């Protein structure tokens, strides 16, 4: 695999799924619509592509169902499940959780890198990464079952 960790993309990048070229700054990677099933789940209208610094292409297909950041409702004033800079990373993370051959730790690492690629500060990304790695890891069996992993 090609290492693409360059000064321009030290954390990887979100790309156009059709061309593989990096999206322009501020261009949203995620397009989705709400499910009409009484949950907060969303369904991707278009595929999402994140390329990590090692060159691994994480392609999330259109139609994938996810729920943004898995944050308890009482914390939504601090961290909202669909905050703009982390929602793309949460989609990629949820997709990774459905891949049984990808470790939980690697999924959390890709989540961190994808947040950083979107401009989330190192501190904010690290707090969310640790929450996914530690707290999320306690419930991964439920998360993986929900999304089919």
Residue located via tokens 């640790």: 130
Q: Domain map of the chain by residue range?
A: 13-147
Question: Which residue stretches of the chain have pLDDT < 50?
Answer: 147-149
Whole-angstrom distance, CA of residue 83 vs CA of residue 77: 11
3-state helix, strand, coil in the chain (%, to 5): 40, 15, 50
């Amino acid at each position: 695999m090609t290492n693409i960790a360059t000064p321009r993309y030290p954390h990887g990048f979100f790309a156009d799924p059709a061309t593989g070229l990096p999206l322009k700054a501020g261009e949203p990677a995620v397009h989705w619509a709400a499910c009409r099933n009484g949950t907060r789940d969303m369904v991707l209208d278009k595929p999402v592509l994140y390329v990590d610094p090692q060159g691994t292409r994480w392609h999330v297909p259109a139609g994938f169902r996810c729920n943004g950041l898995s944050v308890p409702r009482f914390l939504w004033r601090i961290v909202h499940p669909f905050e703009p800079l982390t929602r793309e990373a949460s989609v990629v993370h949820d997709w990774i959780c459905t891949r049984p051959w990808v470790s939980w730790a690697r999924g959390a690492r890709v989540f961190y890198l994808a947040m950083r690629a979107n401009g989330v500060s190192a501190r904010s990304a690290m707090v969310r990464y640790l929450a996914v790695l530690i707290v999320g890891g306690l419930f991964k069996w439920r998360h993986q079952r929900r999304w089919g992993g």
